[in-house]
C-alpha cells in the first residue's frame, strides 16, 4: 500500500471527524498557535491530525486517538516523519543582570 495506508478508510474518516469536534479550540501542538476550524481543508493553516509516533515508525497506531494531536496542515507537513522535529524555538535566554558595584565612597 501507499503512504496513505489506513488514513482513507471509513474508520479514519469517522475518527478524524470526531476528534476535530473534540479538539476544537485547542492550539496546534507543534507551533502553539490557534487553528481556524473554518478554513478550507487544503489551506496551509487548516486543521489536521498529526500522529505523534509517525506511521513509518509504528503503523499499528494509525487509529489510536492517544497518538493523534491537532496541528496545522503546514506544521504537520514540515514535521513529516521526524518525531524529534519541534518548530517552536526555545525561549531565548535573557542576559544576566548587570552587577551593581557598591562603594562607600560618595561623590
In 1-107, DSSP assigns E strands to: 47-51, 68-72
Residues 6+ apart with CB under 8 A from 23: 70
pLDDT at 79 exceeding the cut of 80 = yes
36-49 tens-digit pLDDT: 999 999 999 999 99
> Cell 517552536 maps to which residue?
88
Cβ partners under 8 Å of residue 52, min gap 6: 67, 68, 69, 83
| Other CB atoms within 10 A of residue 28 CB | 23
Q: Which residues of 52-69 are buried (b: 16+ CB within 10 A; e: fewer)?
A: eebbeeeeebbeeeebbb
Q: What is the pLDDT of residues 81-102, one digit of tens each?
A: 776 766 555 444 456 666 666 6
What pTM does this model have?
Answer: 0.69
Amino acid at each position: 500500500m501507499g503512504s496513505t495506508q489506513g488514513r482513507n478508510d471509513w474508520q479514519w474518516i469517522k475518527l478524524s471527524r470526531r476528534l476535530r469536534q473534540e479538539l476544537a479550540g485547542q492550539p496546534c501542538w507543534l507551533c502553539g498557535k490557534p487553528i481556524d476550524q473554518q478554513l478550507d481543508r487544503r489551506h496551509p493553516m487548516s486543521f489536521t491530525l498529526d500522529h505523534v509516533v509517525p506511521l513509518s515508525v509504528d503503523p499499528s497506531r494509525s487509529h489510536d486517538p492517544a497518538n493523534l494531536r491537532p496541528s496545522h496542515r503546514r506544521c504537520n507537513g514540515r514535521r513529516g516523519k521526524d518525531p524529534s522535529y519541534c518548530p517552536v524555538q526555545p525561549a531565548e535566554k535573557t542576559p544576566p543582570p548587570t552587577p551593581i558595584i557598591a562603594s562607600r565612597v560618595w561623590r
